[in-house]
A and B are shown apart, each in its own frame.
Chain A
Amino acid sequence: KAGVTQTPRYLIKTRGQQVTLSCSPISGHRSVSWYQQTPGQGLQFLFEYFSETQRNKGNFPGRFSGRQFSNSRSEMNVSTLELGDSALYLCASSFLSGRESYEQYFGPGTRLTVT
């Protein structure tokens, strides 16, 4: 089975611009979660989608949004980029969602640099 793929792998944007990141989960996985990783804050949960519905959302401003398509592929969008949005954005997929979730399978991440 192919793993979780994320595109693009690297991205450089300017403050004020917007960006869209893409994630393709493992075939058959319906849950996709997004995390932001920075040296200062570590790994922080952004949101989770399951069967095209947002199940949970982390404590991030409304500039961060996402969606999931019928084929379980997911995108996240960040509008009006700020310097502090520079981070590694990780996508993870799992077969189940909820309290009985098993391990999550992570993609390689998208390294976003905002200048």
Chain B
Amino acid sequence: SQQGEEDPQALSIQEGENATMNCSYKTSINNLQWYRQNSGRGLVHLILIRSNEREKHSGRLRVTLDTSKKSSSLLITASRAADTASYFCAGVPTNYGGSQGNLIFGKGTKLSVKP
């Protein structure tokens, strides 16, 4: 079962606005990754942040990680209609292996960006 929770579950904004999605997880992780999924298709890797990093930027994306609170946030600045998708956080558990596998996914945030 999943051990990550994204918040909010759904987010609707206008083009040009910023979108912030939060993720909380239960298990200790080695690194945390964010993925995007367009409707019913495969996931695309966006960014990876290691457990010893607090913040990372990539283009219009900014990710923060707070290991003490077991939480992460993804900020998309100046959003575009093409950013409409579901966004998932996924952690590589420190006790990697077993039934957890190599990535534990949250339930995702469905982002809708209106033109």
Contact = CB atoms under 8 A, between A and B. Distances in A.
Given A41-B1, A98-B96, A103 B33 contact: yes
Contact of A102 (B41, B43, B44, B48): B48
A56 B41 contact: no
A72 interface: no
B43 A42 contact: no
Interface residues of B, number: 29
Contact of A105 (B30, B45, B88, B106): B45
Given A97-B102, A100-B30, A101-B92, A106 B42 contact: yes
Contacts of B44: 106
B87 to A, nearest CB: 12
Interface string A54-86: 011111000000000000000000000000000
Nearest to B6: A42
Interface string A76-115: 0000000000001010101001111111111111010000
Interface of B: 1-2, 30, 33, 35, 40-45, 48, 88, 90, 92, 94, 96-108
Q: Which 9 A-B pairs have the closest CB atoms?
A: A45-B101, A103-B45, A106-B42, A43-B105, A106-B43, A99-B96, A108-B42, A42-B107, A56-B101
